[in-house]
Structure 1
Amino acid sequence: MNAIVVMTTVSEREAGERLASALVEAKLAACVQILPPMTSVYRWEGEIQRETEHLLLIKTTQDKWDSLAAFIHTHHPYEVPEVIAVEASKIAPEYGAWLTEQVAV
C-alpha cells in the first residue's frame, strides 16, 4: 500500500472546507479531516508570527502526490502553503483498499 497523509493549514475553516471538498471531488484525496483551530508560530518576512489555523489531514496515495501538491498550490489562499506528506508505514487492508478505490480515475 502506498498511502500518504498530506498536511496543509488554512486560516479559516471555510477555506479548508472548500479545499477539502475540491480535493475529494477531483479524486485527489479519499478523505480530508479538518482539525479544530490551533496556534501556529513561524517566521514570515523576518518577523515572528502567531496565527490561528486549521490543520487539514489529506489521505491519498503516493501516485497522486504531484497532482495534489500542484492543486493545493493553485487553490490555496496562502502565498506559500504548507504541503508536507508522511508515508503510512502501516494501514488496515480494508481501509487501504477503500482509499485506493476513492482516488482511482
Structure 2
Amino acid sequence: MSGMSAEHVIIMSTTDSEESALALASGAVEAGLGACAQIVGPITSVFRWDGAVQTEREWRVEVKTAGDRAQALIEHLEANHGYDVPEVVTVPVTGGSVAYLSWVADETR
C-alpha cells in the first residue's frame, strides 16, 4: 500500500456493468479478501483516456477489509478486472463501530 497502513480499509474500484461489479464484489468476498462489498451505481464518470475526455456509465465496488489483506485484495481486483488500467484505490478507515470492525477482521482471516 505504498507505505500507508491502516487497521481497516475500504478498497474501491469502478467497472462498466452491474454484472462486472457483482463479479468483482462476490469474488473478493468468496476469496476471503473482503468482509463485505457494496455496489453503487450507475454513476457517471468523466475522465481522460487516449487523449480525449470520456463520459461513461460505471458501477463502483466498495470492499471493506482488514489492512493486512489490502495488498492481496488489490492484486485480486486487478487480476479479475476487465479494464486495461482499472481504478483501484485504498481509503483508510479511521474509526467506526468496534463490533463491525472486529467482524471485518474476523471475516478476512
> 5 Å matches for 1:1-105?
2-104=7-109
TM-score when normalising by structure 1? 0.95
Separation of aligned partners in 1, 2:106 and 2:13: 23
Q: Distance in 1 between matches of 2:89 and 2:67?
A: 12
> C-alpha deviations, 1:9-38, integer Å up to 9, x for none?
011000111111110010000011001201
Q: CA deviation at 1:62?
A: 1.1
Q: Which runs of 4+ in 1 moved over 2 A?
A: none
Q: How many residues align?
A: 104
What RMSD in Å do the two structures reach over aligned CA positions?
1.0
* Contact persistence 2:45–2:55 (CA under 8 A): yes
1:77 counterpart SS class: coil
- Rounded to whole Å, the distance in 1 between the matches of 2:78 and 2:45 is 20
Unaligned runs of 5+ in 2: 1-5
Paired with 1:84 and 1:101, the residues of 2 have a C-alpha distance of 22
CA deviation after TM superposition for structure 1 residue 85, in Å: 0.5
Aligned partners of 1:19, 1:46: CA distance in 2, in Å? 28
